[in-house]
Structure formats: C-alpha cells, structure tokens
Amino acid sequence: MTDPELIAFAKAISRVLGWAYFLCWSASFYPQPISNYFRKSTTGLAIDFPTLNVLGFACYTVSTSSFLYSPAIREQYAYRHPDAPETTVRFNDFLFAAHGAVLCVIIYSQFFPRLWGFRVGKTQRVSRPVLGIWWGCVVVVAVTVALVLRLGGDDAEGWAWIDVIYALGYVKLTTVVVKYIPQAWVNYKRKSTIGWSIYPMLLDFAGGWLSLAQLVIDSSLQNDWSGVTGNPVKFGLGNITIVFDIIFIFQHYVLYRQPKKHLEDEEEDCESENEQLLSDRHD
C-alpha cells in the first residue's frame, strides 16, 4: 500500500477501535445495576465506587465536550501543542462519558431503599476518606476557575480555560485511581465477590486495551507523541483500568471462588433492616 492508503487504513482502524472500546466500556455499566435489580440488594458493592464515579464522569463529560465543541479550548490546545494541534479526543469519548454519567447516577440511586426498595447494609455508607477526596476534587476545580477568572482567561500562555478542563480531566483520573480500592477492600474483607459483578471488569479489561491501541494509532498518525501527553486522562484511564481489572479477575476466579456461609446471613440481616425501614416509613 502507498503512504496515503496506509494512513487511510490506519484512520479506519482507529475509528473501529474507538467504537469497539466505547461499546465495551459502555456495556460494562449495565451488569451491576441489573444484578442489583434482580437481587433487590446492593450488598457486595462498595458505595464509594458509584459515589466517585458520579463525580468523575460528570467531569469527564464536560472535559470531552469542551475539547470537541469549544473553539476557545481547541485554540488553546493547539497553541500549547504546536507539533500536534489536533486533540485526540473523539466523539465516542464524549458519548461514553455522557452515557456513563447517567448510568452512574442510576447505580448510586440504588443505595436508597426509599427509591428502589433494595436491601442495603448498615455498613454501606460513603467512607470519610472518599468524602474527603470528593470534596477535595471539587475545591481544586473551584480554585482553578477562580485563578482563571482572576489572572487569565483566553490567553493560553497564562492561566486559561483549558487549565480548568485539564483540572476536570485530572479529577476524573483521580476518581479512577481511588474508586477501585474500596471495592477491592470490600471483596477482601468479605472473602467473596458475591453481589459484585465480574462482567464489568471483563468488559473494562477489553475496553482498556482497545482505548490504548486507538490512542497509540492516533498519536503515530500525527507523528508526535504529545498526542498522548496532551490527553493524559484517556491514557491513564486505559492503564489504570487494566491493572485493577487484573486484580479483580484474580479475586473472583482464584481467591474467592467458593461462596461463604456467613454471606447468606448478611443477606438476611439486610433484608430485616430493609423491612424495618419500610415499616417505620408506613408508621
């Protein structure tokens, strides 16, 4: 093939990989809420996970939409990356982020028995460290906005709106780093993965590799690897996701293959708590 044909082929492969990872990662949101619905319970799932996901995907939605549709952000990006002025954010990135934000809100809402009537354990409360990280991320974004309003705005040489978008992106990256840890800890404490679905992790694992492959192809087409450094969120998402997916797959298929008897009692306790809550509500 000639160079133009090779470039066109590489672009086509990039688009295929983009939509493939979008489908894998988007599908990964469904097994857990569906499992919760049929079990009428959230036991086994750490509430810290959807709590951080809601914040992370809200920030990621704003970040990707800005890179795609804001002329000011695109101009500032081009100014700071003259060797590769075209952002590697694609429409499938935005669609994935917006779709994920909606599903994360749904999963988080399942921890409220008054809304869904699901069994929720007494220990299923947001931890203080996660609350601290959540509010810390909000403060960082707010401070960045204040600095841009005070010291800059449209000048890409100083504080500019693209810095706010980068801050949102790093919030998303932070939530990805942190959100898996509580779930891994819950699985370890319970010595089981019952109530927590492995299928999102399998889809995440596939999506992570596909996402990294697309990013590598896009950067090579631009003949400049600043396409990776200019899109650290996407690069970080793929790598971090793969590492934690391997941990969860090992927990599910190797460490905790056999269900524990005490987990049946846990389900019964949660059911009793839920019935008491509904009874109090009627009273």
Q: What is the pLDDT of residues 39-66, one digit of tens each?
A: 999 988 999 999 999 999 999 999 999 9
CA atoms within 13 A on the CB side of 273: 18
Are the C-beta atoms of 28 and 107 separated by less than 8 Å? no
Range(s) of the domain holding residue 221: 3-282
Q: How many domains does the chain have?
A: 1
Q: In angstroms, rounded to a whole number, what is the distance separating the alpha carbons of residues 213 and 206?
A: 11
Are the C-beta atoms of 161 and 148 separated by less than 8 Å? yes
Residue 8 pLDDT level (bands cut at 50, 70, 90): confident
222: enclosing H helix or E strand: none
Among 72, 74, 75, 67, which residue's Cα sits nearest to residue 93?
67
Are the C-beta atoms of 207 and 25 separated by less than 8 Å? yes
User: Is residue 276 scored above 60 in pLDDT?
Assistant: no
The angle at the Cα of 182, spanning 176 to 186, to the nearest 5 degrees, equals 145
Tell me the backbone φ, ψ of residue 88, rounded to 5 degrees: -90, 5
Residue 29 pLDDT level (bands cut at 50, 70, 90): very high
* Arithmetic mean of pLDDT over the chain: 82
User: Is residue 156 scored above 90 in pLDDT?
Assistant: no
User: Is residue 262 scored above 80 in pLDDT?
Assistant: no
Q: What is the pTM of this model?
A: 0.78
More confident residue, 9 or 166: 166
